[in-house]
Chain A
Amino acid sequence: MRQQNWLEDLKKIVGVRNVLTDPMALLPYSYDGYTLVESTPRAVVLPQSRDEVAAVVKILARAEIPFLARGAGTSLSGGATALEGAVILHLSRMNHILEIDVENEVVVVEPGVVNVHITKAVEPYGYFYAPDPSSQQACTIGGNFAENSGGPHCLKYGVTVNHIVAAEVVTVDGDVVMLGNLAGEIDGPDWLGLLIGSEGTLVIATKLWLRLTKQPASSQTILALFDEVDEASRAVSAIVAAGIIPAALEMMDQLAIDAVERGPYPVGYPADLRAVLLIEVDGERHEVLETAREVEEILHSHRVREVRLARTSEEKTRWWANRKTAFGAMGLISPQYYVQDGVIPRSQLPEALARIAAIAKRYDIRIANVFHAGDGNLHPLLLYDGRDPQMVQRVIQAGSDILAVCVELGGSITGEHGVGIEKIEDMRRQFGEGDLKAQAAVKTAWDSEGLLNPGKLLPTAPRCHETGSGPVKRD
């Protein structure tokens, strides 16, 4: 094939309207939820089926043009931003729920299906899809597959890798492979487990079989209002130490509370509150009653100011909406915000929060904390004004210092948002040279030419691909 014909060939596969090259049309694709790096893709292609994805990939691979898949573009680590002149395969047209297989407790979906639509579709059958990222109103299952996304209820129910039983994927050569099975059991090497969370750098998922979870018979949502962050953190540890794994155990600090109370779903938190825990227990009804009672006891032994139990489903829904819109609410107290994502052993929560507060002070910035306290997954939100370049630099440095704290305390540089572009160098904090080589071998095994989503996840020297027609802006 003549290399310059690749664009025409793509148009033949997906139709002229579904290949975008106009700079104005490419603009929205030049970044994702991580806005600190912008890079315009060489083109955007919108395939509608597995066969179209495979054909597009074959054309690009033969022309040695790098490429990547994109879902809703909500990645917070730059995973969906095209580097090195890559072409984006935007999978928004592959957005169908193909089958709800109640008997096998599986739902079959295309990758462009929005996360929350799955639970809505299976609710009438008494099921839900457990991984519930706060972005679930927008993010797609393909993106969740790539990022191994979590969410508040993952404390009890597990993250995406625990809920995908099978996947049809297109390899970098355009071959279609089926991994996993309806039974949800591994069959030889656990390739599926390896590919979930590989940040779109190994394969493109074109169809997914998701495990459905039975709706719990009963649940109780609890709000615990604290005058001290430290006491709230200790209460978290005490709940876990008592052998209780709630469905969710979330925490917000004062600055975060201030923001969410200005948002569309205020709960009516007192203005002087220092921390709030949002706790949900669910399961068999006797288990829930007893567990909720025990949680209340623990909270009262930790100087809680007030404990509220949700009395109606409306109240519960509002509390959750208040929590799940917390990132967006930062816009109400700051021109911009930068979300960090790190994990610490949960016993280190008081120490980690104290050190984050010290970092905020050192860099003279405000940091709000909204996070999955039950599994030690921190989300410090670093507030800044993008018009102040020095402040931007301070925020980036503070973010990096927070990750250093996570690693120092025995944790991880990311619990759910991925490495992407953002943390590529931070990988060296967590892993040694040999460990990184072991990971690089995985990349080579699936994509020896480095064509799929280059410049992400692994801190290797950038490869020399032909760049796109315009200069690739990366700032």
Chain B
Amino acid sequence: MKRGSVESRANHLAAVFDQTRHDHHVLCVEGLGHRRRESTRPVTVYKTAEWDRMIAYEPADLTVTAESGMRLSTLNAILAEHDQWIPLWVADDKEDTLGGAVSAGIDGLWQGGYGPFRDRILGLRVVTPGLGAIELGSHVVKNVAGYNVPRIFVGTRGALGVITAVTLKVSPRPPICWSWVWEGDLSALMRRAHELRELAWPWAALTLSYQPGSEMRLRAEWHGRRETVRYLVENLGAGGHELPLWTEGPWIDRAVVFKGALPRRAMGELLEWVDEAALIIEWQTGRIFGSASRSEAQRLAIWLGEHQGVFDVVSGPDLGIAMNPILIDAWTRLKEAYDPEGILG
């Protein structure tokens, strides 16, 4: 059963906030539940997956507003009717809701070709315990009116408010998507990746992936016009449509699923260093995604910290990565306004 109209979400959530407060719980908002972080406090889980209405879609404006529980695949099916899409492909092939992708700061492999997912977020509708229902950002592709508050909701897992609707910039679907793969020795693959960037640019994704016990794999994916793909086939061989990302078998969730990034200079070094983790690096942007045991994830977090990289848990235990004390102050003051009683964790 759907939980009422968009307008009634705020009232409904206000009651949920009251109940959570009464139970001395923390409210954990969940889309499909794939990106859950373990919590030490008692949690009331609130599912948004039923909030899946389309609110506004204007193909000529390349913008769409939908409720936060809508699955990305559902949205993309609607956009496909107009040859448009939200190009977000997460390496574990799991589904995300729009609100879940924003809250967990999820990003995909096509950043090289389309930029980060967060750059598509134009506006959010949010219900907060402290300020009630608020609109953040705008519905147009360009806007600098006021602070860019939607940014602070990306990756903060609903700690400031419950996202009820998301406005995104959409992209035209390319006429063709084509891929090529190579396996073997890391240094040869790195040379090849370098050559690929000289041959054409930007690739939708240029990934190097590694699973413990199997060979390193380079995969190049082009989104664009048929003439370009013909030219690339002449230079690189036949390739294929949607060639697999990993050398062997499907993606396996280990204790920690992580994402992050590292400076381009350190990419090769990380692939030489990695041992027990499944890891994928997007070669144009230095973005990473992977899965590891808790201890391996901890080692990796430290390694990345030492190499000016970033490590973030997508699902699994909180590894307790510290924030700068000045930023903690700013965060605390924001929390005081948005969620004064800490209902949202």
Contacts and interface: CB of A to CB of B under 8 A. Distances in A.
A241 B170 CA distance: 12
Interface string A180-203: 011111111111011011100000
Interface string A350-368: 0000000000000000000
A440 to B, nearest CB: 8
Interface residues of B, number: 76
Contacts of A344: 140
Interface string B287-299: 1000000000000
B219 to A, nearest CB: 19
Contacts of A103: 264-265
Interface string A98-114: 00000111100000000
B267 to A, nearest CB: 10
A287 B224 contact: yes
Interface string B55-66: 000111111000
Interface stretch (A22-30, A51-59, A330-338, A429-437): A429-437
Contact of A185 (B58, B59, B197, B287): B287
A413 B321 CA distance: 39
B137 to A, nearest CB: 9
B263 A189 contact: no
A442 B334 CA distance: 6
Contacts of B260: 183, 185
A183 B263 contact: yes
Nearest to B62: A240
A290 interface: yes
Contact of A346 (B60, B119, B310): B60
Contacts of B119: 158, 161-162
Contact of B155 (A159, A186, A196, A418): A186
B285 A445 contact: no
Contact of A434 (B60, B132, B142): B132
Nearest to B151: A193
Contacts of B201: 214, 216-217, 283-284
A435 B135 contact: yes
Interface string B266-305: 0000000000000000000111000000000000000000
A241 to B, nearest CB: 5
Given A284-B200, A445-B330, A194 B148 contact: yes
Nearest to B225: A290
Contacts of A240: 60, 62
B115 interface: yes
A375 interface: yes
Contacts of A181: 261, 263, 308-310
B253 interface: no
B146 A431 contact: yes
Given A189-B156, A190-B154, A198 B115 contact: no
A348 B20 CA distance: 44
Contact of B61 (A159, A197, A347, A432): A347
B333 A448 contact: yes
A75 to B, nearest CB: 12
A167 to B, nearest CB: 13
A161 B225 CA distance: 29
A293 to B, nearest CB: 10
Interface string B244-264: 000000000000000011111
Contacts of B327: 177, 188-189, 191
Contact of B227 (A182, A241, A242, A289): A289
Given A186-B105, A186-B118, A287-B225, A439 B308 contact: no
Interface of A: 103-106, 147-148, 150, 154, 158-159, 161-162, 171, 175, 177-178, 181-191, 193-194, 196-198, 214, 216-217, 237, 240-245, 283-284, 286-287, 289-291, 343-347, 372, 375-377, 410-419, 423, 427, 430-432, 434-439, 441-446, 448, 457-458
Given A104-B263, A245-B172, A343-B140, 8 more contacts: A106-B263, A181-B309, A182-B308, A187-B312, A243-B172, A347-B58, A375-B142, A412-B144
Interface of B: 58-63, 83-84, 105, 115, 118-119, 128, 131-136, 138-149, 151-152, 154-156, 171-175, 197, 200-202, 224-225, 227-228, 230-231, 260-265, 285-287, 308-310, 312, 321, 323-324, 326-327, 330-331, 333-334, 336-338
23 contacts: A148-B144, A154-B142, A175-B326, A182-B308, A183-B263, A185-B287, A186-B154, A191-B327, A193-B151, A193-B152, A194-B148, A243-B172, A283-B201, A284-B201, A290-B227, A291-B225, A347-B60, A412-B140, A436-B146, A439-B147, A439-B149, A441-B333, A445-B337
